[in-house]
């Protein structure tokens, strides 16, 4: 009880602080189907096409984070990958899969850039596009969570309801089984704060090692990387994923628990 109250108070302070510091306005919380959505618009509008909408929920059902963010090379920041139509057409980026074989085909450049039904499936921002995969229908059978996509992705995989592939023929390199590091506790440096158990094992399933080391955490010796909850709210460290794609920071208790095992 005391713990819950403590968390509620801290949460209110941290939240208001960060939300106002950034914009002066509190952002609307995304709806479950919007969580993990990325809009890509470095070139689309310039070519008189609608900006591209990419949904993580759709893709993480079928692929691990590592496949896209390491093997294919998408940046971990919206808009940061310089994706050109010709790249997609040559089998890079979205075109690794969206080539008319693994998934529906992507860009073309030789018909006056008139958007068609195929183009609209990706160049869809602001358009009424009928999706082949409806969020509610597709995720119906998956275990529920309160926040983010409203789906417990961790459990969905543990129960075998989704089986994301960690390998794409011709793109991924065959690697030895990863030697998984021990799970450990992280200290929150505030008295009364429930300890955090960080599971290397569980994270490695999705992320491999390369998504975190060495860019987000140096990872040579525990405690080398110094950070606080405020850094995390700013999208650094754990916040690089928890806040936009993995379950959001709102879900304090999923990290600040007693033992998880």
In the range 120-179, which residues lie near ligand HEC by CB under 6 A?
121-123, 131-133, 148, 153-154, 168, 178
- CA dist 46 and 239 (Å) reads 32
Contacting residues for 226 by C-beta, under 8 A, at least 6 apart: none
Q: Is 61 in the site for ligand HEC (CB under 6 A)?
A: no
Report the residue number, 48 or 141, with the smaller CB distance to ligand HEC.
48
Number of residues that bind ligand HEC (CB under 6 A): 114
Nearer to ligand HEC, 21 or 178 (CB): 178
Name the segment binding ligand HEC (CB under 6 A); options: 17-25, 27-35, 187-195.
187-195
Q: How far is the CB of 24 from ligand HEC (least distance, A)?
A: 20
Q: Select the residue interacting with ligand HEC from 162, 180, 195, 236 (CB under 6 A).
A: 180
Of 239, 232, 227, residue with least CA distance to 189:
227
Please state, in angstroms and rounded to a whole number, the distance separating the CA atoms of residues 58 and 103.
12
Which CB, 33 or 237, lies closer to ligand HEC? Answer: 237
Applying CB under 6 A, does 203 fall inside the site for ligand HEC?
Answer: yes
Residue 41 tokens, joined = 């618009």
Does residue 44 belong to the site contacting ligand HEC (CB under 6 A)? yes
User: Phi-psi category of 128—alpha, beta or left, where left has phi over 0 and alpha has psi -120 to 50?
Assistant: beta
- Say whether residue 238 binds ligand HEC (CB under 6 A): yes
Q: What is the Cα–Cα distance from 46 to 221, expressed in whole angstroms?
A: 47
Chosen residue from 16, 21, 29, 79 binding ligand HEC by CB under 6 A:
79
* Residue 35 near ligand HEC by CB under 6 A: no
Residue for token pair 């509610």:
136
- Rounded to whole angstroms, how far apart are CA atoms 65 and 59? 9
């Amino acid at each position: 009880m005391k713990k819950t109250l403590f968390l509620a108070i801290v949460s209110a302070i941290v939240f208001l602080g960060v939300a106002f510091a950034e914009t002066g306005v509190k952002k609307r919380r995304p709806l479950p189907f919007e969580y993990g959505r990325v809009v890509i618009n470095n070139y689309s509008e310039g070519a008189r096409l609608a900006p591209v909408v990419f949904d993580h929920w759709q893709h993480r059902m079928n692929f691990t984070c590592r496949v896209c963010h390491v093997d294919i090379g998408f940046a971990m920041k919206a808009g940061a990958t310089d994706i050109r139509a010709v790249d997609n057409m040559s089998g890079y980026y979205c075109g690794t899969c969206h080539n008319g074989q693994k998934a529906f085909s992507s860009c073309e450049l030789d018909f006056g850039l008139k958007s068609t039904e195929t183009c609209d499936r990706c160049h869809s921002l602001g358009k009424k596009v009928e999706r082949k995969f409806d969020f509610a229908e597709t995720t119906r059978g998956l275990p529920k969570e309160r926040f983010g996509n409203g789906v417990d992705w961790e459990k969905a995989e543990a129960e075998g309801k989704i089986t994301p592939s960690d390998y794409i023929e011709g793109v991924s390199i065959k690697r030895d089984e990863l030697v998984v590091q021990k799970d450990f506790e992280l200290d929150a440096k505030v008295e009364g704060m429930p300890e955090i158990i960080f599971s290397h094992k569980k994270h490695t399933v999705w992320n491999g090692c390369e998504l975190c080391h060495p860019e987000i955490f140096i990872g040579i010796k525990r405690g080398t990387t110094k950070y606080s909850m405020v850094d995390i709210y700013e999208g650094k460290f754990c916040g690089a994923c928890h806040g936009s794609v993995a379950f959001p920071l709102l879900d304090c208790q999923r990290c600040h628990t007693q033992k998880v095992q």
